[in-house]
Amino acid sequence: MTTREEFMARIRAEMGKTRGLFPATPATRPEYPREEAEAIRAQLAERWPEALERFRHEFEKVGGVFHRVPTLTEVPEVVTGIARAREARRLVSWHPSQLGADLGQALAARGLTPLPMPPGEATNPTERARLRQLAASAELGLTGVDLAIAETGTLVLRSGAGRPRSTSLLPAYHIAVFDRTALVESLAQVGVFLELWHADGATEDRGAVISFITGPSRTADIELTLTRGVHGPKEVHVIFVEREIRG
């Protein structure tokens, strides 16, 4: 049995491994977020390969699994490979209009059971509960990505019609598909897009939640024993598509 002294000593030892807080200052709020976002896009059009490589490096550091394919046509084969290796069949996905393509038929032909979300926002409590249960019963969740942050290997996903947050939070395996247009280099650039998304109070096409996902779900108890998948997916995969998905 661990004594109180041993228990406290272990906590002190683990806490001593942290580097402490880094200095931080508030960022300047962009005055013209649309123009700044367009400038960021123009810059990334030239240097996206470097941003992608940094994203891959940081994403794998936090336990993510990176895949790369030439076009959307190859995505179902990668998804199927992930599913077979984990003996999974049921897959819930964003609606095709939000995912960028209808992959349901190709996934079904490979032995999976795709369950796409409906295109609109569920307003009826009974329907919302049904959709949550559908996501909870699926082993795989397939989503798009609004932003992929190279600096931290983080995925940014907005909830909304056809893209409920349960799709990325409830299944054990989250698979996210994106192309170069989702790449940003830093959290500072993300702030510009957050301002743009909420400019002029325009929120009609946006849900209530913006999720920042940095690797699989992690939970540690008071003794700092790390466990994955307790409060979210235990694995997060990304599939980078070289050709623009909506090009």
Position 2 scores a pLDDT of 67
Are 170 and 211 in contact, with CB atoms under 8 Å apart? no
**Closest-CA residue to 138 (of 103, 93, 81, 189):** 93
How far, in Å, CA of 217 to CA of 233, rounded? 6
Q: What is the pLDDT of residues 39-58, one digit of tens each?
A: 999 999 999 999 999 999 99
Percentage of the chain lying above the pLDDT 70 cut: 89
pTM: predicted TM-score of the whole model, two decimal places: 0.85
Position 7 scores a pLDDT of 82
Position 47 scores a pLDDT of 94
Q: What is the pLDDT of residues 166-196, one digit of tens each?
A: 999 999 999 999 999 999 999 999 999 999 9
Residue 1 scores a pLDDT above 60: no
Position 35 scores a pLDDT of 95
Q: What is the pLDDT of residues 75-112, one digit of tens each?
A: 999 999 999 999 999 999 999 999 999 999 999 999 99
Structural domains of the chain ordered from first start? 32-241 (3.40.50.10420)
Q: Cα separations (Å) of 204 from 123, 197, 210, 212? A: 14, 10, 15, 21
The vertex-79 CA angle with 78 and 83, nearest 5°, equals 120
The one-letter amino acid code at 21 reads L
Q: What is the pLDDT of residues 216-245, one digit of tens each?
A: 876 765 656 666 656 679 999 999 999 988
Instruction: Return the number of other C-beta atoms located less than 10 Å from residue 161's C-beta.
Output: 18
Residue 247 scores a pLDDT above 70: no
Sheet holding 147-149, edge to edge: 183-184, 147-149, 154-158, 210-213
Residue 18 scores a pLDDT above 90: no
Q: What is the pLDDT of residues 127-145, one digit of tens each?
A: 888 888 988 999 999 999 9
